Structure 1
Amino acid sequence: MSKVHIVIPARYGSSRLPGKPLRDIAGKPMIWHVWQRAAESGYSSIVVATDDQQIVDAVERFGGKAVMTSREHASGSDRLAEVATKFAWDDQDIVVNLQGDEPLLDPALLVRVAQLAESATNAGLATLVSPIYAVDDLVNPNVVKAVFDQNKTAHYFSRAPIPWPRDAFAISKNAMPEGDYFRHIGLYAYRVGVLKSIPQMPASPLESIECLEQLRPLQHGVEIKVAVVDKAPEHGVDTEQDLARVIERVERQLISA
């Protein structure tokens, strides 16, 4: 059986929320909360990949493992590939990418995407999607859409509404059209051999146009397997408003515990 590693990319710099991984949530830095979600998945190989010594120090203070990575990486895949190479993980191992700004992520989703990658032996990546029920989400470019076949193999990801409901939208773009529409949940599991090859792939025109890094391996013929989950996880932390929402949620949980 492949070994599963959870890697948590955590950059210090953020234009909207500087020092984000170290921001306080109920007396603990955000990165601590994300680490707890990873630990609750049951996988023991967990490492934070960062570009700042302050984050390394914070992780080591609570007993976690962190590694410094280059500040020059253009994408999360590049950072994860550096980590896999540093630790000489086997090409058949699985790396799950848990973003460092997801303190409320359900650990069951980590297990789901890792198991999908393990079982899909011909796929280089696995990821998750959830149904779209609101037309506002369907037309929102910040909600990434996914199209896949009956074997749950991804065909395309886009910020545009796909598939395009031509006849329904010709009548009204304010009502949710009939049909199945899915949002992409930005949670990936990579087979290590494929992960290490992604930074060597030529830049993809589709990746550049859509600003979606998963389109690079897809355009280069890497199979991406998809599993459908009932609902998307709660949005991560990008802004002060997001942080306030998460703090309120965590404090409510502590009070009710």
Structure 2
Amino acid sequence: MKIIAMIPARYSASRFPGKLMQDLKGKPVITRTYEATVATQLFDDVVVVTDSEIIFKEIKDIGGKVMMSKKEHECGSDRIAEAVEFLDVDVIINVQGDEPFTDKKSLVKLIQVFKEDPKKEVDLASLMVHIQDEEEIKNPNTVKVVIDQFNFALYFSRSPIPYPRDKNVDVKYYKHKGVYAFRKQAILDFYRLPMQVLEASEKLEQLRYLEYGKRIKMVETNVQGIEIDTPEDLEKANKFWK
């Protein structure tokens, strides 16, 4: 099984433009993410795929592998699908460019899902973290996921799900971490299928997979990490790096 890591790296970001080129302890965020992914030694290849000449040059200058996107894309999955369409690969791990604290143990768990799936019943795998803080549960920037008894995703939402109507029920809330593992065919299907109502409403690309009947296996991790979405996150990351 050939497994590669792809790091989609868009320069513009609505909440923090140019965040991937911001300094994190002496190197840009995207460089820290790329180096951390390579350092796991889990992949046959690690490639940054970007729409930015600036990011392209940065990865080239450090001797890394990088591809330029040929088209404008709505989301990271589209960008990766274009990049892998003609590559000889079985499974693609999507590592977010703004997550420099990539956790090796979590990635190992994702890869194991496919190694233990000889019938190819799993289309995607992704990570989730148990959360208990009420503010985080209510925060629309924290994407929640509900799962079935076999840890397959039932739904993703920016709203608190499930809604705690009965306060006596011991409900566990899970935050979805945007690290995905795809079978190649699953991501190519995503690329060719139009957006549906749920994805358009919540602005969550993972809902397109569910709307078209793809199966997403969720893997629990206890590593929260730091996603750099705001200048405050970057400040926190610099402190954490010490």
**Normalising by the residue count of structure 1, what TM-score does the alignment of the two structures yield?**
0.87
Residues 16 and 180 of structure 1: CA distance in aligned 2, closer, same or farther (over 3 Å): closer
Structure 2 residue matching 1:162: 3-state secondary structure: coil
Cα offset, 1:235, TM superposition: 2.6
Matched-pair contact (CA < 8 Å) for 1:127–1:186: yes
Among 81, 91, 94, the alignment partner of 1:94 is 91
Cα offset, 1:24, TM superposition: 1.8
Match of 2:51 in 1: 51
Match of 2:108 in 1: 111
How many residue pairs end up in the alignment? 239
Cα offset, 1:110, TM superposition: 2.0
Match of 2:200 in 1: 208
Paired residue type of 1:240: P
Paired residue type of 2:227: G
Q: Within 5 Å, which residues of 2 pair with 1:113-128?
A: 113-120=110-117, 121-128=120-127
Matched-pair contact (CA < 8 Å) for 2:47–2:66: yes
Q: Structure 2 unaligned runs (5+)?
A: none
Match of 2:73 in 1: 73
Structure 2 residue matching 1:15: 3-state secondary structure: coil
Structure 1 residue matching 2:166: 3-state secondary structure: helix
Cα offset, 1:219, TM superposition: 0.8
Matched-pair contact (CA < 8 Å) for 2:15–2:230: yes
Provide the aligned C-alpha RMSD in A.
1.7
1:1-36 Cα deviation digits (max 9, x unpaired): x21110011111123333222222222222211012
Higher gyration radius (CA): 1
Match of 1:217 in 2: 209
Q: Within 5 Å, which residues of 2 pair with 1:118-157?
A: 118-120=115-117, 121-157=120-156
Structure 2 residue matching 1:14: 3-state secondary structure: coil
Structure 2 residue matching 1:167: 3-state secondary structure: coil
1:60-114 Cα deviation digits (max 9, x unpaired): 11110000004511111100101111x4234xx1111111111122222222222
Match of 1:236 in 2: 227
Cα offset, 1:118, TM superposition: 3.6
Task: Say yes or no: does 1:178 pair with 2:170.
Answer: yes
Paired residue type of 2:172: D
Q: Structure 1 unaligned runs (5+)?
A: 170-176, 253-257
What is the CA–CA distance in structure 2 between the aligned matches of 1:16 and 1:219, rounded to whole Å? Answer: 28
Cα offset, 1:135, TM superposition: 1.9
1:185-205 Cα deviation digits (max 9, x unpaired): 111000001111101112111
**Normalising by the residue count of structure 2, what TM-score does the alignment of the two structures yield?**
0.92
Paired residue type of 1:162: I
1:197-230 Cα deviation digits (max 9, x unpaired): 1011121111111111001011100111111122
Calculate percent identity across the aligned residue pairs: 38
Paired residue type of 2:192: Q
What is the CA–CA distance in structure 1 between the aligned matches of 2:110 and 2:174, rounded to whole Å? Answer: 16
Structure 1 residue ranges (4+ consecutive) displaced by more than 6 angstroms after TM superposition: none
Matched-pair contact (CA < 8 Å) for 1:117–1:225: no
Structure 2 residue matching 1:168: 3-state secondary structure: coil
Paired residue type of 1:196: L
Cα offset, 1:122, TM superposition: 0.9
